[in-house]
Copies of this chain bind each other. A is one copy, B any other.
Amino acid sequence: MLNRVRSAVAHLVSSGGAPPPRPKSPDLPNAPSPQTVAPPEAPRSPPATAGSGSAAPAKTVEARASFSRPTFLQLSPGGLRRADDHAGRAVQSPPDTGRRLPWSTGYAEVINAGKSRHNEDQACCEVVYVEGRRSVSGAPREPSQGQGLCFYYWGLFDGHAGGGAAEMAARLLHRHIREQLKDLSCWSSQKEVSHESLVVGAIENAFQFMDEQMARERRGHQVEGGCCALVVVYLLGKVYVANAGDSRAIIVRNGEIIPMSREFTPETERQRLQLLGFLKPELLGGEFTHLEFPRRIQPKELGQRMLYRDQNMTGWAYKKIELEDLRFPLVCGEGKKARVMATIGVTRGLGDHNLKVCSSTLPIKPFLSCFPEVRVYDLTQYEHCPDDVLVLGTDGLWDVTSDCEVAATVDRVLSAYEPNDPSRYTALAQALVLGARGTSRDRGWRLPNNKLGSGDDISVFVIPLGGPGSYS
């Protein structure tokens, strides 16, 4: 998330570039906050096991405190160093050998061009087993999973102001979802509420509990910063895409693009933010105005007429400038430069409990929402072919790549592979990441059209929709 948090940069500078120590693990959802900080755990072996957490390999205390990459990348210490190299920006994917990701999911990532010390994106891909609180009557179970229910899970977490929040979310959010889904056991007695809306509610609440856990544990473990979260849950024939932040998910199906998320930024959430500032003016601390103006107003313009927008308006109208209008606007800037309180460029996500306005004690968290928007896609309503995919990407991808360009790459790359070649989805993820990064030239990273490539961390999942049966 390039240049998204001004105060984050200030923090990194003041702390010498080292992100805060990684929080203790494993934390169980809803567990009370530990009172003491445990000593670092012994190193764990890299290969992931389905159903386990996705904590990163940590060969030494120092390396562990520095950074980590998703477990499923199975990086050696040398590989970890290459993944952390801003000059080479080598694209990372799970190895061809060894266990594939569920559904033959493709994944690729690349570190940023130097905007932060480490790659602050994180990822998780798991099969999660849910043991019901009681038996789930009426809800069919995955045949191989015995008495419980299991769901497939993919998560992308784009950190800012440090990697702590993204790492914690990658390690724990699916466990919160698992906890919430245990409640589905009560479902059959509430006929007026659909099974689908219970899953949506479970995911929504899991995001909230994850955020609350970060708030509790930041004191003990210094979970600095925050992260966007884009999560996919597959359960009982339906794909749930939950997004809080500015990552994006699209389905490419028979060449057609189906948006599965929208971005939450100061521009798209202006009216929500302004309404909060209007109803709770104390949150503006006398420093900001909830009104938006096309440009900053000068004191000499007092009493003149100026265009404005408030929480109720999508258009612009005129008002006479008053003293309060000279305050800095709560929402200002356009596109990637849009900011809340001149500080943060994304309005939903996890963490950021310590985030303050620059040179101020005014907290920004009250304006941020940890709640995702959840969209549901019924996999059973359409017969999917091997070229139909769900693409998840952090903003590093989407800043320089349009939906149509992604769809074109899907077509180009997948048609070069046999339909039953499971490596084609990893090749596609790599092509998307490479296409957004570009190549290193005299004047930075450049795309073939000579425009600037993305200097941000870039992470991409490609999930084939051909069927859950492809899990090997």
Contacts and interface: CB of A to CB of B under 8 A. Distances in A.
Contacts of A317: 180, 183, 198, 201-202, 204-205
A296 interface: no
A314 B374 contact: yes
Contacts of A186: 305, 318
A265 interface: no
A307 B204 contact: no
B315 A200 contact: yes
B204 A314 contact: yes
A315 B201 contact: yes
A96 interface: no
A390 to B, nearest CB: 20
Interface string A341-363: 00000000000000000000000
Contact of A199 (B201, B305, B315): B315
Contact of A307 (B193, B294, B307): B193
Nearest to A295: B192
A197 B313 CA distance: 10
A203 B316 CA distance: 10
A208 interface: yes
A328 interface: no
Nearest to A313: B204
Contacts of A36: none
Interface in A185-233: 186, 190, 192-193, 196-205, 208
A276 interface: yes
A202 to B, nearest CB: 6
Interface in A297-311: 305, 307, 309
A279 interface: yes
Interface string A313-336: 111111000000000000000000
A195 to B, nearest CB: 10
A441 interface: no
Given A190-B294, A280-B279, A295-B192, A197 B315 contact: yes
A112 interface: no
Given A279-B279, A307-B190, A197 B371 contact: no
A190 B306 CA distance: 9
A14 interface: no
A44 to B, nearest CB: 33
A348 to B, nearest CB: 11
Interface residues of A, number: 37
A371 B312 contact: yes
A48 B275 CA distance: 42
A369 interface: yes
Interface in A99-136: none
Looking at A280, A314, A373, which has the most chain B CB atoms within 10 Å of its CB? A314
A318 B200 CA distance: 12
A202 B315 contact: yes
B312 A204 contact: yes
Nearest to A191: B294
Contacts of A309: 201
B369 A312 contact: yes
Interface in A417-463: none
A186 to B, nearest CB: 7
A331 to B, nearest CB: 15
A305 to B, nearest CB: 7
Contacts of A198: 307, 315-317
Interface in A154-196: 180, 183, 186, 190, 192-193, 196
29 contacts: A180-B317, A183-B317, A183-B318, A190-B307, A190-B316, A192-B294, A192-B295, A193-B294, A197-B315, A197-B316, A198-B307, A198-B317, A199-B315, A200-B313, A200-B314, A200-B316, A201-B313, A201-B314, A202-B315, A202-B317, A204-B312, A204-B313, A204-B314, A204-B315, A279-B279, A279-B280, A312-B369, A313-B371, A314-B373
Interface of A: 180, 183, 186, 190, 192-193, 196-205, 208, 275-276, 279-280, 294-295, 305, 307, 309, 312-318, 369, 371, 373-374
Q: Which 5 A-B pairs have the closest CB atoms?
A: A200-B315, A201-B315, A201-B317, A312-B371, A201-B316
